[in-house]
Structures are given as C-alpha cells and as structure tokens.
C-alpha cells in the first residue's frame, strides 16, 4: 500500500503520508492543534495523545504517548484520541461538551497559558480510564498512598508532563478530584472491545521507505537484505535523532506490533521477555515477580516514555547510560539474537563491545531477553541523577545478591555511566563472594567498586563524583540489606 488509514477522534482518514512525517505533525496538519511541540525529545509532554492499545485478549487500554517522537505511519490502521476528541455532547451533570478531566482542570485553575494543558489532559485521561484505578478512601487499608490520591489517581501518570507557569498544585487538585467514568462514557465503553490489530504497511516516498512486516520471518528477511535499515519500536530514541539531529533513515522497519516480539513467558528456567513489549506492559504483566525490575521502572524516564519504550530498543542503542542494562546485568540476563538464518543466545555481559557497539551482526536483531531463575533474594537499583525522575543518569548501580547465612553467596553488580559501555563490576563481585556480610567487608568492596570502570568528567558529573557514588551505593545497599534493616522493613 502507499497510503495510511488512521482513526482519529472517531473519524477515519485515509491519506498520503511521507515516511518521516511525525504523528504530531500529521495531527496538527489536520487541524488538531491542541497537541503542541515543546522539547521534541519526549520530556515535556505537551504533545501527548491517547492511543488504543491491546489489553488482554479482547480489551483496549487507552495509553498516553508522546506524539512528537513516532512516525505517523507507525499508527497506520490504529486509533488515536487527542484532547479535542475527549469531550462529548452535553449531558446531565456535564458542563457543555467538556470531559470530566477538562472540567476539573478548568474548575481548579489547572491552566494559565494553556500551552501544556492538552498534553496534561491526555495523560490525566489515560489514568482516569486505567482499569486498575480504584478509590482508597481510608488511611488504614494497607494501600501505599505516596503520590496517590484517595480516588486512586497515581500522580506518576503525569511524570512526563511539564508546566512552567501554572504550578502543579492545582493540576494535582484536579487529578485528585476525579471520580470514576460514567456508565455511558463512550471512551470507557471502548475499552470493552479489542484494539485495532496491526496492519501490514509499506510506503515509499522521496527515496525513503517505511515497512511494517506481517511476521518475524518477513522482518528478518527484509533486514538481511537491508542491514542498514533502522528498526523502530517506540521511537523514543530514533525520534530524538530525527527531531534534534535531523536524521533521515533511508529505510525504517517497524517491529513494535509483531506478535513474536511481544511475548512474556515464565518457565522453571526463568522468564523470557519479548523485545517489543513496552516497559509499561512488562511491569503490568510481571506483577512484581522481578523485584529489581520493579525498582527500575519508576526511575526509567517517564510514564509517557515507558508506554512506548522497549527493552529491545534500550539495549539495541547500546548506550552506556541506558538504565535497563545495569539492572539486566545484575540479573545475569542473556539476549536471544535472531537473524534470517537462525538464533543464538548471548550473555548480556558479553554483548557490549565498545561505545554504542555490540556483537550483533548485520541483519541480526534482539528477539527477547531471558532472566534465569530463581530471582535474587536481595536486590537494589540506585540511579544518581540531577532530577528525582525523568532524567539521564550520571551513575547507575544495580546489585543482586544471595546470602548464605552471614556470608555472601552469589552476587552480580551492573554499572552504567562509568565506562564506554555498561559493565559488570567483576572485581567487586570477586571481593564479596564468600566473605562475611559485614561493614568491614563492605568497605573493602566499596574501595574495589570505586575503581571499576573509567569514569569521566562531563556536564552531568565529574569523574571524582561518579567514583564516590559507586562506593556509596554499596554502603547504602549494605545498610538497607543488613538483618536489622530487613527486620525493620518487614
């Protein structure tokens, strides 16, 4: 095909769209100018929209994503809602055609200049319609209410949205004032029906081509023929290259909706996670079975980014500051690499070969990530950054350990931001293995950890600071995992 079909705010459009047209530009070109461009990097949320994503076997989950990053063709055959499409006709208890989220934002002063407001509204609407959101009105029911309202609204749903003039208190007030969707709410009702399936897409224009293969076999065949093609899932990295560095890949292969890359299987040997599952999907489907990943997810960018980003993409870029790599190194992960002539399994510790270089051969891609069983009994992820959330790490440390009595048994430590690649702290692991888990051991190991890698000076941190943070991370882990600390947290 050479045209794209997309349903936007209930209206289906079939149009010609060049391969490098972003979803945001397409929507604004149709007159839907509520979504704005702010940072063009997925950090401000002014461009947020809702997309219909599969939820279970036959349901739909309204998911907020940044429209400034993905190509519009990635949503061929899909369903999108913008801020303009949230409201409905006047009804009892509803002011005009305002959606409940819009009404609360207006009533509580959640908007001044209004530039960021449509993005906030879309992210807030995704949380409004989240199936798991339930009211928790009492303070003694065991529910963790840190940044969660009595109505069950999780403020972290807005973590990727920035406002420079209103201030966040009235926006928070609007979020916490929301009730549940009305039984006649058409957007809530849409959740009961399946999301649109992926459709095969092939569009060529001005020497560039966008292709969504129908199967993994077709993808690998095309990738073998064109190993210079760019693989795109959530576009959270490629989109930045297109927007900021003006990259224009000659051929794009969309992998995000291939069923073979969206599996999550648990066996006695461990867990296999498909490379194209989004981080938000992984978090929901694992449901706490990998505690170290549970510590990673809230610190990985924002909810908007996690709704699109994948482990395959994060590892595929081979960035030395990618947050997933240190955690997966500590979990002793392996990667399943697939090509047209077969598959092979590679330990993640052997995957990185240099700055943004890996053992992947031309035409080879990450199909899945495997985590061996059992999960470590003690684990922690420490991310040092200038901001609490939604920031690039200066140093990242992941520790996974099993104690045998008062001695260290198996231990794995993954590091990010301290070398040209993510690395295992092998010297520190050796210093800890078999030693008593005492402050004296920790001090010796902290000195070894501080010497791991080759930290450098840059705008995020100095080499001296990075080195100090490595040792501090191990001291903190000991303090939090000592018998007394564990007893207090139980």
pLDDT tens digits, one per residue of 143-154: 556 789 999 999
pLDDT band at 93 (very low <50, low <70, confident <90, very high): low
Residue 334 has pLDDT above 70, yes or no: yes
pLDDT band at 34 (very low <50, low <70, confident <90, very high): very high
3-state secondary structure the chain: CCCEEEEECCEEEEECCCCCCEHHHHHHHCCCCCCCCCCCCCCCCCCEEEEEEEECCCEEEEEEEECCCCEHHHHCCCEEECHHHCCCCCECCECCCCCHHHHHHHHCCCCCCCCCHHHHHHHHHHHHCCCCCCCCCCCCCCCCCCCECCCCCEHHHHCCCCCCCCCHHHHHHHHHCCCCCCCCCHHHHHCCCCCCCCCCEEEEECCEEEEECCCHHHHHHHHHHCCCCEEECCCCCHHHHHHHCCCCCCEEEECCCCHHHCCEEEECCEEEEECCCEHHHHHHHHCCCCHHHHHHHHHCCCHHHHCCCEHHHHHHCCCCCCCHHHHHHHCCCEEEEEECCEEEEEEHHHCEEECCEECCCCCCEEEEEEEECCCCCEEEEEEECCCCCCCCCCEEEEEEEEEECCEEEEEEEEEECCCCCCEECHHHHHHHCCCECCHHHHHHHHHHHHCCCCCCCCCCCCHHHHHHHHHHHHHHHHHHHCHHHHHHHC
Residue 477 has pLDDT above 70, yes or no: yes
Supply the pLDDT for residue 92: 58
Residue 366 has pLDDT above 80, yes or no: yes
Q: Per-residue pLDDT tens for 112-121?
A: 999 999 999 9
- Tell me the mean pLDDT in the region 238-260: 96
Residue 136 has pLDDT above 90, yes or no: no
Residue 486 has pLDDT above 50, yes or no: no
Residue 483 has pLDDT above 70, yes or no: no
Supply the pLDDT for residue 490: 46
Residue 384 has pLDDT above 60, yes or no: yes
Q: Per-residue pLDDT tens for 388-444?
A: 888 889 999 999 999 999 999 999 999 999 999 999 999 999 999 999 999 999 999
- Tell me the mean pLDDT in the region 454-483: 89
pLDDT band at 455 (very low <50, low <70, confident <90, very high): confident
Q: What is this structure's pTM? A: 0.94
pLDDT band at 479 (very low <50, low <70, confident <90, very high): very high
Question: Which domains are assigned to the chain?
Answer: 4-190 (3.10.20.30), 201-257 (3.30.43.10), 377-490 (3.30.390.50)
Comparing 135 with 55, the larger pLDDT belongs to 55
- Tell me the mean pLDDT in the region 251-255: 98
Supply the pLDDT for residue 154: 95
Q: Per-residue pLDDT tens for 168-209?
A: 999 999 999 999 999 899 999 999 999 999 999 999 998 899
């Amino acid at each position: 095909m050479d045209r794209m079909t997309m349903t936007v705010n209930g209206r289906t459009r079939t149009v010609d769209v060049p391969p490098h047209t972003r979803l945001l530009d397409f929507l604004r070109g149709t007159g839907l100018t509520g979504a704005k461009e702010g940072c063009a990097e997925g950090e401000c949320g002014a461009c947020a929209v809702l997309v219909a994503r599969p939820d279970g076997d036959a349901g739909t989950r309204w998911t907020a994503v940044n429209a400034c990053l993905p190509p519009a063709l990635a949503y061929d055959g899909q369903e999108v809602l913008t801020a303009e499409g949230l409201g409905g006709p006047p009804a009892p208890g509803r002011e005009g055609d305002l959606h409940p989220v819009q009404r609360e934002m207006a009533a509580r002063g959640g908007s001044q200049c209004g530039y960021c407001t449509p993005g906030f509204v879309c992210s807030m609407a995704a949380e409004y319609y989240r199936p798991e959101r339930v009211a928790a009105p009492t303070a003694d029911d065991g529910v963790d209410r840190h940044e969660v309202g009595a109505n069950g609204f999780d403020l972290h749903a807005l973590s990727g949205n920035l406002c420079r003039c209103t201030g966040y208190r009235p926006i928070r007030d609007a979020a916490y004032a929301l009730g549940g969707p009305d039984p006649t709410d058409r957007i809530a009702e849409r959740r009961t029906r399946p999301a649109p399936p992926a459709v095969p897409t092939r569009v060529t224009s001005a020497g560039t081509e966008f292709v969504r293969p129908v199967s993994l076999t077709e993808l690998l065949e095309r990738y073998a023929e064109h190993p210079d093609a760019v693989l795109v899932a959530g576009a959270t990295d490629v989109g930045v290259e297109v927007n900021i560095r003006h990259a224009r890949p000659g051929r794009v292969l969309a992998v995000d909706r291939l069923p073979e890359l969206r599996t999550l299987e648990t066996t006695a040997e461990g867990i296999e996670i498909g490379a194209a599952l989004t981080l938000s999907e992984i978090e929901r489907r694992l449901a706490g079975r990998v505690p170290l990943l549970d510590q990673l997810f809230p610190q990985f960018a924002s909810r908007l980014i996690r709704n699109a980003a994948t482990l395959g993409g994060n590892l595929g870029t081979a960035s030395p500051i990618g947050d997933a790599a240190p955690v997966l190194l500590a979990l002793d992960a392996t990667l399943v690499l697939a090509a047209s002539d077969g598959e092979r399994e590679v330990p993640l510790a052997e995957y990185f070969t240099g700055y943004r270089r890996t053992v992947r051969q031309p035409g080879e891609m990450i199909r899945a990530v495997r985590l061996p069983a059992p999960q470590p009994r003690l684990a922690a992820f420490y991310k040092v950054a200038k901001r609490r959330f939604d920031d690039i790490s200066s140093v990242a440390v992941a520790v996974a350990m099993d104690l045998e009595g008062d001695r260290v048994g198996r231990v794995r430590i993954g590091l990010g931001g301290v070398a040209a690649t993510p690395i295992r702290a092998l010297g520190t692991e050796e210093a800890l293995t078999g030693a008593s888990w005492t402050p004296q051991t920790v001090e010796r190991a902290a000195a070894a950890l501080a010497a791991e890698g080759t930290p450098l000076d840059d705008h995020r941190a100095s080499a001296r600071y990075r080195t100090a943070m490595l040792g501090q991370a191990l001291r903190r882990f000991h303090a939090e995992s000592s018998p007394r600390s564990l007893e207090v947290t139980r």
